[in-house]
Amino acid sequence: MHEDSGITTQITVVGAGMVAHRFVESLLSRDGGDMRVTVFGEEKRHPYDRVGLTAFFDGTSPERLELDRSVFDDPRVELFTGERVQRIDRKERTVHTASRRHRYDRLVLATGSYAARVAVDGARLPGCFVYRTIDDLIALRDFVASRRAQLGRPLRGVVIGGGLLGLEAAGALQSQEVACTIVQSSDRLMSAQLDLPAGRMLQRLIEDRGLTVRTEARTTRLDADRTGNVAALEFHDGSMHPADVVVFTVGVRPRDELAREAGLRCTPTGGVVVDERCDTSDADILAIGEVAAFEGRTVGLVAPGYAMAEVAATRLLGGDATFPGFDESAKLKLSGIDVASFGDHRGDTPGVLDVVYADPVAGVYKKLVLSDDAKTLLGGVLVGDASAYGALRPLVGAALGGDPAAYLMPEGGAAAPAAELPDAAVVCSCANVTAGRIREAVHEEGCADANAVKACTRAGATCGSCVLMVKKIVGTELTALGQSVPRDCASTSRCPDDSSSTRCVCRG
């Protein structure tokens, strides 16, 4: 803030996505003092839960996906939706939209990413979609309904890209009764997270679910039928595959165009260069979220963006904070299929040891990556049973405190001892909530269940993958206090309603 009290600092945010919302929320929660915050969002909506977007296909309305609107009720905050910032004038310290010129003292870029398409002929034919915004999903749903009515038969869909998002999109198409094929250019699904055996195991689970998978298939062209709609894909080997609807999930690209035009430093591959304080090459401009490139990289996950939002808010309020680096832990959100990866899951650290448990009959593959002395957990991959994810992810970098194999056995989550988590272990990476903070919420703020902890700390409020662990910690602490433990899935390692991530009581 301005050292000179009495002068209002104008903080301007470009982009009104999840990370911008968290940034504003964080500023306000700490009583931002004498400031004015203006947020420009290109989408014609209030910020919404992009992570939970697929719930739209389960009937969740766009309104229900909205993030807490009360943030914008604060008289110090102003949100302009449907208004794209077209230019930054760094000399004048102004941003420009089609209808407005707006001054800033400090500018925060939170412009996120756009969804990429494969650069081939036909990629923009009617019937080809990306999967990024509520409007993308509305357009996809409407197309499927009208094309089915037009053709008078079930539709054949293709998702190009077999990563986390591709699998989620394939599940969404399937929920719309579209027979879906996932096309992956590499030799396995989720190749960024999984090694070959894990990828093969996942493919079996996906095929058991009624989805078709084609690996090592590179799309070279999309063809239209006589109506002009997409009708088929051609692969690099010349083979053709029919498709009435196509969804591209081949990665995201940082929206750094404003920053580039304004002369801010960007990486050659995309992303506004920031340091650990989220500062860009202009001292008045910060960048956070998916658009921000830290140590040369951008990451398409919300937790690092939230961590950056907290750093930026702290800094703009005169405090000091640094971004610790990317936590790339991820969990698949496809009902009935458990997949998670955390820490150094690829085993990039020199001298690592892998401990593997595989049960092909049960469709389970689990791997822990350990330090060369087999004591410290560095990362892991869980396919087919990710119940231990919530317990293991916070232990990355810490001693496992037991036989690593115990964590991999069936129902391994039960062996993961909540009480052993050090206070500093981050249980909820989305909201950066540690085990110590959860214990404090139980002991000092009277939280007696996971919902109360969520309300107090935000743990479990975003992706929900930590909720089981939160419940375990709450249960352990309540037991220690001699209080009764609520009867829910806290006592089991596996959620009893695990059939659907969106209906899961554990995940709220």
Ligand X SMILES: Cc1cc2nc3c(=O)[nH]c(=O)nc-3n(C[C@H](O)[C@H](O)[C@H](O)COP(=O)(O)OP(=O)(O)OC[C@H]3O[C@@H](n4cnc5c(N)ncnc54)[C@H](O)[C@@H]3O)c2cc1C
* Nearest CA-CA partner of 473 in 432, 425, 408: 425
Select from 40-48, 201-209, 225-233, 314-322 the region that touches ligand X (CB under 6 A): 40-48
- CB count within 10 Å of CB 273 equals 19
Q: Which is nearer to ligand X, 39 or 447 (CB)?
A: 39
- Tell me, what amino acid is at 499? S
First to last CA, the chain: 37
Residue 40 interacting with ligand X (CB under 6 A): yes
Choosing from 72, 104, 131, 365, the residue that interacts with ligand X (CB under 6 A) is: 131
Encoded one letter per residue, x for contact with ligand X by CB under 6 A and - for no contact, window 437-476 reads --------------------------x-------------
3-state SS, one letter per residue, for 223-273: EECCCCCEEEEEECCCCEEECCEEEECCCEEECCHHHHHCCCCECCCCCEE
Q: Which of residues 199-228 bind ligand X (CB under 6 A)?
A: none
User: Among residues 488, 473, 182, 450, which one has the least CA distance to residue 337?
Assistant: 182
Residue 473 buriedness (CB in 10 A; 0-12 / 13-18 / 19+): buried
Read out DSSP for 296-318?
Answer: TB----HHHHHHHHHHHHHHHTT
Return the range that interacts with ligand X (CB under 6 A); candidates 17-25, 70-78, 140-148, 228-236. 17-25
Q: Does 132 bind ligand X (CB under 6 A)?
A: yes
Chosen residue from 1, 11, 13, 20 binding ligand X by CB under 6 A: 20
- Determine, following the binding rule CB under 6 A, whether residue 18 of this chain makes contact with ligand X: yes
- Name the residue with the smallest CB distance to ligand X: 17
- When asked if residue 41 is in the footprint of ligand X (CB under 6 A), the reply is yes
The footprint of ligand X on this chain (CB under 6 A) covers a number of residues equal to: 36
Half-sphere exposure of 367 (CA within 13 A, CB side): 22
Q: Pick from 55, 110, 313, 408 the residue near ligand X by CB under 6 A.
A: 110
Check residue 333 for interaction with ligand X (CB under 6 A). yes
Contact 94, 107 (CB under 8 A): no
Tell me how far apart the alpha carbons of residues 58 and 475 are, in angstroms, rounded to a whole number: 32
Name which of 43 and 225 has its Cβ closer to ligand X. Answer: 43
Instruction: Name the nearest CA neighbour of 312 among 84, 11, 7.
Output: 11
**Which candidate, 382, 114, 148, 346, places its Cα nearest to that of 250?**
114
CB of 88 to ligand X, least distance (A): 9
Q: Does residue 286 touch ligand X according to CB under 6 A?
A: no
Judged by CB under 6 A, the residue of 9, 56, 77, 112 near ligand X is 112
> Counting contacts by CB under 6 A, is residue 50 touching ligand X?
yes
Cβ–Cβ < 8 Å for 286, 276 = no
CB of 237 to ligand X, least distance (A): 30
Q: How many CA atoms lie within 13 A of 137 on its CB side?
A: 23
Footprint (CB under 6 A) of ligand X, residues 237-256: 255
Which one of 13-21, 174-182, 274-282, 445-453 is the stretch in contact with ligand X (CB under 6 A)?
Answer: 13-21
Among 282, 290, 327, 498, binds ligand X (CB under 6 A): 290
Kindly give the interhelix angle for 450-457 and 435-445, rounded to the nearest 10 degrees: 100
If binding is defined by CB under 6 A, does position 230 make contact with ligand X?
A: no
Q: Which is nearer to ligand X, 131 or 357 (CB)?
A: 131
Out of 71, 243, 302, 388, the residue judged to bind ligand X by CB under 6 A: 302
Select the span of 43-51, 65-73, 174-182, 452-460 touching ligand X (CB under 6 A): 43-51
431 phi, psi to nearest 5 deg: -110, 5
Q: Say whether 71 sits in a helix, a strand or coil.
A: helix
Instruction: Using the minimum distance from each CB to ligand X, give the nearer residue, 48 or 407.
Output: 48
CB 458 within 8 A of CB 477: no
SS3 258: helix
Check binding of 407 to ligand X (CB under 6 A): no
Q: Which stretch binds ligand X (CB under 6 A): 51-59, 259-267, 319-327, 487-495?
A: 51-59
* Burial call 56-76: b when 16+ CB within 10 Å, e when fewer: bbeeeeeeebebeeebbeeeb
Closest separation in Å from C-beta 198 to ligand X: 18
What does the block give as tokens for 228?
A: 């002009």
For the CA atoms of 265, 268, 270, 276, what is the dihedral angle to 10 degrees? -50
From candidates 258, 418, 425, 473, binder to ligand X by CB under 6 A: 258
List the one residue from 122, 127, 300, 384 that touches ligand X (CB under 6 A): 300
Nearer to ligand X, 274 or 441 (CB): 274
Q: Report how far residue 176's alpha carbon sits from residue 163's, in angstroms, rounded to the nearest whole number.
A: 20
Chain positions contacting ligand X, by CB under 6 A: 14-20, 40-43, 50-51, 53-54, 84-85, 110-113, 131-132, 165, 168, 255, 258, 289-290, 300-303, 305, 333, 463
